[in-house]
Amino acid sequence: MKTFSITATILVFVACNLSAQTYHEYKFIFSGTAYKTNAAGNIVATHITDQTLLADRARQGNITDLATISLVYHLNGNELGDTIDIISNATGQTLTTELAFYFGSDGGLGRTAVTNLVQTQERRVDYIYTFNNSTYTYANSDSVGAAFTYKSFVKRGKETNAVVTGTMSWDAIPTEANAGPVVCTGTFSLGRPMF
Amino acid sequence: MISPMKMNKVYVMAAVALLMGGFNAGAQSYIEYKFVFSGTAYQTNAAGDIASTPITDQTLLQSQAQRLNITNLSTISLVYHFNGGPPYGDTVDVISNATGQTLTTEFGFFFGSDLSLGRYAVTNATQNEQRRVDQIYTFSNTPYTYQNGDSLGTAFTHKHTLTDTNGNTISFVEGTLAWDVIPSTGNVGPMICVGHFTLGQPMF
């Protein structure tokens, strides 16, 4: 009887500790439009989602099973700010970075976020950086767009969940991965916590 | 003597000449249109919460008018100025309605298609439609702008130009923009602004 009680206590404690972890990677949910000039010379709009971005990069990496990887919003993915990474679902390992949200609050550049007093909410204009040549990204050292981002951190017990939503737009210049320029725009939010 | 037939001919010719003159007068291509904006400004209030306030083009115009000591807002306008900041791009200016003179610049929409920076607009083959991500620059300290050397936001811009058979050109620009403002003499706390813009009536 005592053994059962101790075991139950341990199980409950472990469960609490497990749920107490604060996640720093969440599924990145995106819905938007990519604009390109078609063969007839007209600008055409194509609906794109996070799965479009993921599939495009997976193809480049010769990954055929999309169920093994995810596109995630990575809080502080880099010392410069948050990143949108492609990770292995099994290990959490970052395989590549799709987008970065940098320099949204940098006094040296004259940029600032608006934050509430208790530091749980933030509105900011993040600059978007892309690092690889793909259909929707371009390896560039300058920013290629921006996101208007709302961040909120909600504490439930010992667990803190991030809520991030926003609008974003960026462009990609033609490369070997992309025959013509692309301008993308859309909205994003976070899905379930991953790691 | 002019016969009735000739009278008719003269009348028709005069009418054609008048119409031609009228069309020629209207054939100008405007480069400045009223800038119509509707959005929200976010700031931290005295209670420490992020508060949102609706802002419009008139809010922006008023804040610049105050800085310029202009009390009669009907004498000035906020306009979208095509190629107002050569060689960098378009601007949103405060102008005199009487003369069209630019009194100050509210925003620069710069470097949206600059290959040296790795940025590229999407344009159609006939060059009359474009989708682009412009970098927003501000040049003066007001409640809604900050004098800064770096960009402070971006606009996702759709530009479209129509030309009729007489050469009259009318431009349409619409988009979303977001920018931030750090505290300065014109603004006690940081601010983030976001909204949607279009063009209104052609001005000059």
pLDDT tens-digit profile of B147-159? 999 999 999 999 9
Mark out chain B residues that contact chain A at CB-CB < 8 A.
42-44, 47-50, 115, 117-126, 129-133, 135, 146, 148-150, 152-154, 156, 176, 178-183, 189-192, 194
* Same-domain check for residues B62 and B91: yes
pLDDT of residue B27: 57
For residues B135 and B111, the answer to whether their CB atoms sit within 8 Å is yes
Q: What totals of helices (H) and strands (E) does chain A contain, helices first?
A: 2, 10
Instruction: Give yes or no: residues B47 and B132 share one domain.
Output: yes
Report the percentage of chain A scoring pLDDT > 70.
89
**More reliable by pLDDT, B4 or B124:** B124
**What three-state secondary structure class fits B49?**
coil
How many domains is chain B partitioned into structurally?
2
B17 shares a domain with B50: no
State pLDDT tens for residues B73-97.
Answer: 999 999 999 999 999 999 999 999 9
* CA B89 – CA B108 distance, rounded (Å): 7
Query: Do residue B35 and residue B21 come from a single domain?
Result: no
Distance, in Å, from the CA atom of B167 to the CA atom of B17, rounded to the nearest integer, reads 17
Tell me: pLDDT of A153 over 80. yes
Are B120 and A110 a contacting pair at CB < 8 A? no
pLDDT tens digit string along B91-132? 999 999 999 999 999 999 999 999 999 999 999 999 999 999
pLDDT over 90 at B29, yes or no: no
Residues B161, B97 share a domain: yes
A70-to-A34, A87, B82, B87 alpha-carbon distances in Å: 21, 5, 43, 42
CB contact under 8 A, A43 and B49: no
pLDDT tens-digit map of B160-192: 999 988 888 899 999 999 999 999 877 889 999
Question: What's the pTM?
Answer: 0.86
pLDDT value at residue B28: 63
Residues of A in contact with B186 (CB under 8 A): none
Regarding whether B102 and B6 lie in a shared domain, the answer is no
pLDDT of residue B21: 36
Clarify whether residues B179 and B117 are in a common domain. yes
Q: Is A121 on the interface with B (CB under 8 A)?
A: yes
Q: Which residue has better confidence, A12 or A166?
A: A166
Question: Does B187 lie in the same domain as B138?
Answer: yes
- For testing contact with chain B, the best of A33, A123, A129, A136 (most B CBs within 10 A): A123
Domain that holds residue B13: 1-29
pLDDT score recorded for residue B26: 46
Q: What is the pLDDT of residues A169-193, one digit of tens each?
A: 999 998 988 889 999 999 999 999 9
Same domain, B18 and B73: no
A-chain CB neighbours of B45 within 8 Å are none
Tokens of A75: 């809080």
Indicate whether B18 and B81 sit together in one domain.
no
Q: What is the ipTM of this complex?
A: 0.86
* pLDDT (0 to 100) of residue A76: 96
Same structural domain, B105 and B40? yes
User: Which residues touch A96 (CB under 8 Å, ≥6 apart)?
Assistant: A57, A61, A85, A86, A131, A132
Other beta carbons within 10 angstroms of residue A23's beta carbon come to 16
Question: Do B170 and B190 fall within a single domain?
Answer: yes
pLDDT tens-digit readout, A66-100: 999 999 999 999 999 999 999 999 999 999 999 99
